[in-house]
Amino acid sequence: MKKTTLLNSEISRIVAECGHKDLLVIADSGLPVPENTKRIDIALSPGIPSFLETLKAVLSELGVEKAYIAKEMIDKNNELYLEVTKLLQDKIIIIDHEKLKEMSKMSKAVIRTGEFTSFANIILQSGVEF
What's the CATH code of the domain at 90?
Answer: 3.40.1650.10
3-state secondary structure of 112: strand
- pLDDT at 79 > cutoff 90: yes
Q: Determine the pLDDT at residue 2.
A: 75
For residue 30, is it within any domain? Answer: yes
For residue 63, is it within any domain? Answer: yes
- Contacts of residue 123, Cβ cutoff 8 Å, sequence gap at least 6: 23, 24, 25, 67, 68, 69, 100, 103, 104, 107
* Binding-site positions for substrate: 28, 97, 119-121
* Binding-site positions: 28, 97, 119-121
28/7 Cα distance (integer angstroms): 20
For residue 90, is it within any domain? Answer: yes
For residue 3, is it within any domain? Answer: no
Q: Is the peptide bond before 49 cis (omega within 30 degrees of 0)?
A: yes
Does the active-site annotation cover 66?
no
Identify the domain containing residue 99 by its residue range: 9-126
pTM of the model: 0.96
**In contact, 31 and 104? CB cutoff 8 Å:** yes
Set 5, 10, 20, 106: catalytic member = 20
Domains contained in the chain, number? 1
Q: Determine the pLDDT at residue 130.
A: 82
